[in-house]
Amino acid sequence: MSERGWIVPIGGAEEKLRNPRILKRFAEVAGGPHARIAVVPTASRMPDTGPRYVKLFRKDLGVAEARTLDFQTRADCEAPELLDFLREATGVFFTGGNQLRLSTTLGGTPVTEIIRQRNREEGLDVAGTSAGASFLSEHMIAYGNEGPTPRADMVSLAPGMGLTEEIVVDQHFAQRDRLGRLLAALAYNPRPIGIGLDEDTAAFIDPEEGLEVVGSGAITIVDPSDMEFSSMDSARPHEPVTVIGVRLHVLAEGAGFDIPSRRARLPAAAG
Catalytic residues: 130, 172, 199
d(CA 4, CA 219): 23
Burial (CB < 10 A; 0-12, 13-18, 19+), residue 58, is middle
d(CA 6, CA 224): 24
Contact 197, 214 (CB under 8 A): no
CB atoms within 10 A of CB 166: 16
d(CA 233, CA 246): 17
